[in-house]
A and B are shown apart, each in its own frame.
Chain A
Amino acid sequence: MSTADVLAIFGGALTTLLLSAAGIALGLPIGLGLALLRWARVPLAGRAAAVYVSLLRATPLVTLVLLLFFALPNVGIAVGPIAAGVLALTMNTSAFNCEVWRASLMDFPKEQIEAAKSVGMRRALRFRRIVMPQIVRTSLPGLINEMSLLIKVTPVLAVVGVVDITRAAVRIGAETYEPLPPFFVAIAIYVPIVFALVSLQRWIERRQAIPT
């Protein structure tokens, strides 16, 4: 395995990170939106969100990305591998994020909302100043956990032709007839990223456990 091969795997790492970042950036607010629809029991939309979440949580990412990549062009929407990948990641992670956000919303103390109402805060202000800052805090460990899961499913996007860390490693293994060294380079990239996220999650949980 040459230096160029190692660099190729790092090129894949850039793709993995960009895709994950896009999925996280889109999935967080969409998940929050879905959770709010369910929390506020918006008729129809709340129900639809519940079905969406249940379905997406059960769907393997491979199946989802294949569906999007092959079926969307059929209805006149041209998607490339990257677009299909980001869309699949976003749909997948938004369903899991929704559950994390919703759990925090369900746990949110009712008295605080009533107190905010009694001082004349309107719905939007209440949400922005009272609810949001606190649910961000309680959701954070769950959301970070979901980010580490997201990074661990990105290799699947190779099935539609995205060249990520794993794909780059497989390719080099096939060219050099020595598959193990590139796989170890790939693992050496994944493990610190995922481990950093898991440690961050544990650290936040420990800090929040200390009563302030």
Chain B
Amino acid sequence: MINGFGIVWAERGLMLAGLANTLLLSVLAGICALLLGALLTPLLMHRAKPVARSVRVFVDAARCTPFLLFAYMVYYGLPSLGLRFDNWSAGLSALIVYHTAYMAEILRGAWAAQPRAPIEAGQAFGYHGLALFRRIVLPPLALASAPVVGNQLIQIIKDSAFLTIIALPELTHAASSIQSRHFVPFAAFITAVLLYWALCLVVEAGVSTVGRMAEARR
């Protein structure tokens, strides 16, 4: 078994490349999904019923569909409609679109839970438009939604592992190929698990820092 970890160490280049890809996928998908979700949130609460309802259908459908099935649809399904992706763009766009739905719902929930009074007070002090949003609405909203967004980021990291099935060379794929080359399943996959754990602990530490900031503001 110790020998197995020796082999994984010898193949550390492959493992680290996988880790870098997982990190790249998760960070890109996290940022894009958050931004797109933020664009979708106002539509989700739009006064025009047809707009709100069609966005709601997308959000609910995504939240009822397994991510892997969604990724398969993008990778295998869309080419038959003439849209061809390589595994990188298919994997990344699947991650982004799928998690945009979750982010939109998270931000809507955080928005709905915000008290109205500070906004009205801000308006009374002459804030409006962008300044009102940036100075009055955004800070408490960002602090309130940070923990849930952090959880979603962990979910994105874990979902990125599913993309090993469409042969995207991320961390689990790296562990898989080391195991199939050298037959060291335990060492290879345990190393991958520990690396995922480390990533998630980093995200959790970030979330609790933001949480302390929110506590200090109060």
Asked if A140 CB lies within 8 Å of chain B CBs, one says no
In the complex, A103 has a CB within 8 A of chain B: no
Contact A54 B197 (CB under 8 A): yes
Chain B residues near A173: list those with CB within 8 A. Answer: 76-77
Interface: B192 (CB within 8 A): yes
- CB distance B69 to A166 under 8 Å? yes
From B77, B80, B186, residue with most partner A Cβ within 10 Å: B77
Stretch at the interface among A37-45, A64-72, A105-113, A203-211: A64-72
* Contact residues on B (Cβ < 8 Å of other chain), bracket: 35 or more
Cβ contacts under 8 Å, A158 to chain B: 68, 165
Q: Are A60 and B175 in contact (CB under 8 A)?
A: no
Task: Sort chain A's interface into a size bin.
Answer: 35 or more
Q: How far is the CB of B134 from chain A (nearest CB, A)?
A: 34
B172 and A60 contacting across the interface, CB-CB below 8 Å: yes
B164 nearest CB neighbor, chain A only: A62
Pick the contact of A74 from B66, B80, B185, B196 — CB < 8 Å? Answer: B185
Whether A66 and B69, one on each chain, are in contact in the complex, defined by CB atoms closer than 8 angstroms, is no
B200 contacts partner chain A, Cβ-Cβ < 8 Å: yes
Interface string of A171-190 (1 = CB under 8 A from B): 00110011110010011001
Chain A residues within 8 Å of B199, by CB = 58
Contact B76 A60 (CB under 8 A): no
> Does residue B161 face the partner (Cβ distance < 8 Å to A)?
yes
Taking CB as reference atom, which chain A residue is nearest B163? Answer: A62
Within 8 A of B (CB), among A54-88: 54-55, 57-64, 66-67, 70-71, 74-75
Known contacts A55-B193, A156-B162, A166-B66, then 14 further A-B pairs from the complex at CB < 8 Å, ordered by chain A residue: A57-B200, A61-B158, A63-B175, A63-B196, A64-B193, A66-B176, A70-B185, A71-B185, A152-B67, A166-B68, A166-B69, A166-B72, A187-B61, A187-B65
Q: What are the nearest 4 A-B pairs in CB distance?
A: A70-B185, A60-B161, A58-B200, A67-B189
The contact sample of 10 A-B pairs, CB cut-off 8 A, is A60-B160, A61-B161, A62-B165, A63-B189, A63-B196, A177-B80, A179-B72, A183-B77, A191-B61, A194-B64
